[in-house]
Chain A
Amino acid sequence: MVLLLKRFLYRPILKVVHEREEKISQELEKSEKVLNDANNELKHYQEKNAEFEQEKQGMLREAEEEARKKKEELIKLAREEVKILSERLKNSLAREQRGLQVELHKKMVREIFLICKKLLSELANVELEALMAEVFLERISNKEHQEDGALFEGLKASTGPIILQSSFELPESLKESFKEKLEVLIGHAVNLKFETSTEDLSGFSLKTHNYQYSWNLKEYLERWEEKVQDTLKTENLGGASHVEPKDQANGKSI
């Protein structure tokens, strides 16, 4: 019976138990290995994470630095652009101002010319254009006004036609007078042409290909403008005492 039980009971049972124990032991070892692997993996990934974090911080710092430089660059560029634009605006304003000044200048000359013309006509019954033509003729004839013979030399050296430019249409008699005067001055016949232009601001210009002699209101006006500018400058320097006019009733600026 002992042998039978050993064969059919104890040996199979102990074998199965032993195998199960081994299996469980292997499973435990395997699970321990898996756990160790998992821990190693975890450690590895944690290290990687730390590296990535460092890299991230480094990249952030680089990006910040780059952004700062870019910002400074852009600000610099913007300032330069603003400066250029401001310069352009200033130039544009200056051009506009100059244009306005020229326009104003012309208007003033025209107005002055008209006022003078009207005054002379009403007070002395004399035509301003005729008087101006006489004055210019006198200036051409009179050596005192010829800038040390420059007019004579300029007209004599001319190979082409001489152009007499006026701000108004000259009558034929005056045209003849001018021609005669110039021929006397130069000493031979001249090819004189007459042109009308408002650019000369109520006056005359005698032009050759390389010389010009003018007499008009422009010179007087420029001198007057210079005086006005001087006066304005003087007033601006002492402008600290300038007081704006005020509405006395309620004390507001007007």
Chain B
Amino acid sequence: MRLSPDDWIFWEYGVFKLNATIVFTWLIMFIIVLGSVLITRNLKRGIKISSWQCVLEIIILQIQKQIKEIGMAKPEKYLDFLGTLFLFIAISNLFTLIPGYEPPTGSLSTTAALALTVFVAVPVYGVAELGFKKYLKSYQKPSWLMLPFNIISELTRTLSLAVRLFGNMMSGAMIVAILISIVPFFFPVIMEVLGLLTGMVQAYIFSILASVYIAAATRRDDI
């Protein structure tokens, strides 16, 4: 039993390792990009559209709507990053239905990488929206005494993002594995479905939290 897909190594050369996390991550990225290319190749502008286009439009517009509801005035600016996060995590978790597949989100390195992108994206969007000085001043709010706490908060929330996703996905995979060894029929199916739900919820939570962090960084108090 593997705790993480990092332990499933396909190829190794010295310090270079090609484990399941890297393979499945690239595979998912390839599938998402290829799927997007294929679906958007023949987009229809009329009232009658294909089912795939309809599903994709619903997902994209819902993500945009969620971003807007969080408080960002121009959701299309943040859709690329936040939508990609959600789609990657959601599809990673969705593919657990395929036997032999292990979600990359079950690896701490993947979740840490995703959390790090959020960690980087927050100041980037903040500076772009408010300007460098104003963004840095936001760390002194409500008073300069809060500066160290704000910095610690930046770090800890990144950590919490990474650990939350990893913990949930890893535990889900572990529970299923344990249950399969104890009760090989029926019960693991229920847990698999539950795991699927957990995966979707985690994708939602991760992207929503990222949206909240970015929204907090880009908020203009003078407005």
Binding partners A and B: yes
* Smallest Cβ-Cβ distance to A17: which chain B residue: B57
Question: Residue among A5, A6, A19 with the most chain B CB within 10 A?
Answer: A5
- Interface residues, chain B, CB within 8 Å of chain A? 29, 32-33, 36-37, 39-40, 43-47, 53, 56-57, 60-61, 64, 76, 79-81, 83-84, 87-88
Which residues of chain A in 1-54 are interfacial with respect to chain B, using CB atoms and an 8 Å cutoff?
Answer: 1-6, 8-10, 12-14, 16-17, 19-20, 23
- Interface residues, chain A, CB within 8 Å of chain B? 1-6, 8-10, 12-14, 16-17, 19-20, 23
- Whether A10 pairs with B83 at a CB distance below 8 angstroms is yes
- Extra inter-chain contacts (5) besides given A5-B36, A5-B87, CB under 8 Å: A8-B36, A9-B83, A10-B79, A20-B45, A20-B46
- Whether A5 pairs with B40 at a CB distance below 8 angstroms is no
Contacts of A23 in B (CB 8 A): 45-46
Q: List 20 A-B contacts (CB under 8 A).
A: A1-B33, A1-B88, A4-B33, A4-B36, A5-B33, A5-B84, A5-B87, A9-B39, A10-B76, A10-B83, A12-B40, A12-B43, A13-B56, A13-B57, A16-B43, A16-B45, A16-B57, A17-B61, A19-B45, A23-B46
B28 CB to nearest A CB, Å? 10
Q: How far is the CA of A13 from the CA of B53 in the complex (A)?
A: 8
B59 CB to nearest A CB, Å? 9
- Whether B40 pairs with A13 at a CB distance below 8 angstroms is yes
* Smallest Cβ-Cβ distance to A15: which chain B residue: B43
A83 CB to nearest B CB, Å? 86
Q: How many A-B contacts are there with CB distance less than 8 Å?
A: 59
- Whether A5 pairs with B32 at a CB distance below 8 angstroms is yes
A133 CB to nearest B CB, Å? 135
* Smallest Cβ-Cβ distance to A24: which chain B residue: B47
Contacts of B39 in A (CB 8 A): 9
- Whether A8 pairs with B33 at a CB distance below 8 angstroms is yes
Contacts of B44 in A (CB 8 A): 16
Q: How far is the CA of A2 from the CA of B207 in the complex (A)?
A: 14
Contacts of B46 in A (CB 8 A): 20, 23
Contacts of B57 in A (CB 8 A): 13, 16-17
- Whether A9 pairs with B45 at a CB distance below 8 angstroms is no
* Smallest Cβ-Cβ distance to B36: which chain A residue: A9
A10 CB to nearest B CB, Å? 6
- Whether A13 pairs with B32 at a CB distance below 8 angstroms is no
Contacts of A8 in B (CB 8 A): 33, 36-37, 40
B89 CB to nearest A CB, Å? 12
- Whether B43 pairs with A1 at a CB distance below 8 angstroms is no
Q: How far is the CA of A6 from the CA of B33 in the complex (A)?
A: 10
A127 CB to nearest B CB, Å? 137
Q: How far is the CA of A149 from the CA of B26 in the complex (A)?
A: 171
Contacts of B43 in A (CB 8 A): 12-13, 16
Q: In the complex, which of the residues B47, B60, B87 contacts A13, with contact meaning CB atoms closer than 8 Å?
A: B60
